[in-house]
Amino acid sequence: MNSNIVKNTSRLLTANIIAQTVGIAIYPILTRLYSPEDFGTLNMFLTIGGIATLFATAEYQNSIMLPKSEKSSVACFHVGFIITLIVSLIFVLSIPFASKICTLLNAPQLTASYWMLPIYIFVISIWTLLNYWHTRNERFTSVSAYQITQCTTSAGLKWGLARFLGNGLIVGSVLAPVIALAANIATTFRSAIRPLLTFDKSECRQMAREYANFPKYSLPRTLINNVSGNLPVLLLAPFFGMSHIGFFGMALTLAFRPLNMISASLYQVLFQRTAEQVRRGESIKRFFSKFIRNTFFVVVPCFAILYFILPWLTNWFLGNGWDDTALYIRLMLPWLAVICIGSSIAFIPDIFQKQRTSAIIEVIYLILRACALLTGILMNSFAIAIALYCAVGFCVVGYQIVWYLRIINQYERKL
């Protein structure tokens, strides 16, 4: 287990480091080409697209990992693909109402780019399904190639389009995954895509019923989690404007991109490996206990140092006028520390069919986050809203980690 985890995680992590380093390195240029309002509009576009993408797969991508037979796994992919087509079409039909929708969100600048949302939703959803198909079959090299292509292309397009388009940030964010997905399909057609071309209607119906817990419980849970994570953008924008959202969005980008380099790679590898071990009835407790303990002892000292150098680091990296970004990252640090652990093993409820309880936790999480942000709104302070929002995140994610360990302990007692 250790050798496979190290090998596969290293492969994904190397790709993530290359991709995210390029993605982050371009920001000192982008912050001098685009305004905080431009970044705020981008955050709104990605927020809407991210929420819609959840509906577009209905969380059936997780089911791709679970069946024993390849035929059933392919059927799970097809179920997600059909739903993706339907949701993408719905957003195409909403284009004539773009102006009203964007005005309602207090983001009129987004109107000119709204037509790109269906493209973004379709491409990201297809890659989400294909990503899990690659992961099931341990094609981590293909996943790594997509990550590098997508991030490097996105960085180049955002930079190159700045002088020609006012919405170059959004155009780059849409075209990059289109190019990366096309390249991935072209290079893996024989080994990975060809088996997906065989469609079995009866098998799709059977898999849709067998894994109905994913749209029934996992989708609401993930949707609530996504809305909850984007609540500052959705709730605070009408009261504080796109400039504040731009500063906060930049803080999220700089904080979560390095974090996701590691956690996303670990998530994919550990999900695949843990699902396989559980199918074989093997013990997993010792590994996860050690993983959580070691991650904690690495993260806490690093974040303590980061707290003191953030103001200088932000000014050096982004330039003048981005001081608020450093403040918001500082407020996030305790929350980010527990996310380092929790996000890497968040698949535990899916493996053990605990989606219902997980969905309840997410509902409570959303309510607490909304209360935190509303308190900041009532006090007319964006910083207080974010501070309370992050404090709630620290408490809830910490509880989730304890719950994951309880699920593992219950599994171990049945061996």
The token pair at 380 is 């007319």
Distance of alpha carbon 114 from alpha carbon 315, whole angstroms: 33
**Burial category of 228 from C-beta neighbours within 10 Å (exposed 0-12, middle 13-18, buried 19 and up):** buried
Q: DSSP letter string over 241-274?
A: HHHHHHHHHHHHHHHHHHHHHHHHHHHHHHHHHH
Report residue 111 as tokens. 């109107």
Q: In angstroms, rounded to a whole number, what is the distance separating the alpha carbons of residues 353 and 348?
A: 9
- Residue 10 pLDDT: 66
Q: Among 69-73, 145-149, 257-261, 353-357, whose mean pLDDT is lowest?
A: 257-261
pLDDT-based confidence at residue 11 (cuts at 50, 70, 90) = low
Which residues lie closer than 8 Å to 311 by C-beta, 6 or more apart? 323, 326
> What's the pLDDT score for residue 164?
61
Two tokens, residue 407:
């699920």
d(CA 297, CA 347): 22
**Locate tokens 């927020």: which residue?**
47
Structure-model confidence comparison of residues 119 and 17, the more confident one? 119
Q: Please say if the pLDDT value at position 340 is more than 60.
A: yes
Higher-pLDDT residue of 238, 179 = 179
Provide, for the chain, the percentages of residues in helix, strand and coil under a 3-state DSSP scheme, each rounded to the nearest 5.
90, 0, 10
Name the residue among 179, 175, 173, 225 with its Cα closest to residue 41.
Answer: 173
* C-alpha–C-alpha distance, residues 217 and 359, integer Å: 6
% of the chain exceeding 90 in pLDDT? 23
Dist CA 167 CA 115 (whole Å): 12
Q: What pLDDT shows up at residue 96?
A: 92
Mean pLDDT for 263-286 is: 80
Name the one residue in this structure whose structure tokens are 């053990």.
Answer: 352
Positive or negative, the CA dihedral 377, 381, 386, 392 is negative
**pLDDT for position 220:** 79
Cα–Cα distances in angstroms (integers) from residue 67 to residues 193, 210, 394, in the given order = 18, 10, 34
Q: Which residues of 215-226 are buried (b: 16+ CB within 10 A; e: fewer)?
A: bebbbbbbbbbb
| C-alpha to C-alpha distance for 277 and 275, rounded to whole angstroms | 6
Question: What is the DSSP secondary-structure string of 216-234?
Answer: IIIHHHHHHHHHHHTHIII
Handedness of CA 105, 109, 115, 121 (dihedral sign): negative
Average predicted confidence (pLDDT) for the chain: 84
- pLDDT given for residue 228 in this prediction: 75
Q: Which of 197, 213, 198, 253 is nearest to 31 (CA)?
A: 253
Asked if the model's pLDDT at residue 258 lies above 60, the reply is: yes
Rounded Cα distance between 120 and 174, Å, is: 5
Look at residue 357 and give its three-state secondary structure: helix
What pLDDT score was predicted for residue 1?
46
Per-range mean pLDDT, top range of 8-17, 18-27, 128-137, 268-277: 128-137
Which are the contacts of 164, defined by CB distance < 8 A and separation ≥ 6? Answer: none
pLDDT value, residue 163 = 55
- 172-195 pLDDT, tens digit each: 889 999 999 999 999 888 878 888
Burial group, residue 207, by CB count within 10 angstroms (0-12, 13-18, 19+): buried
Q: Which two tokens stand for residue 110?
A: 């987004």
Q: Binning pLDDT at 50, 70 and 90, where does residue 275 land? A: confident
Rg of the chain, C-alpha, whole Å? 21
Residue 105: count of CB within 10 angstroms of its CB? 16
Q: Any idea which of 66-75, 89-98, 125-134, 312-321 has the lowest mean pLDDT? A: 312-321
pLDDT of residue 6: 60
- 142 phi-psi bin (left φ>0, alpha ψ -120 to 50, beta other): alpha
What is the band of 404 on the pLDDT scale with cuts at 50, 70, 90?
Answer: very high
| Structural tokens at position 151 | 């991030």
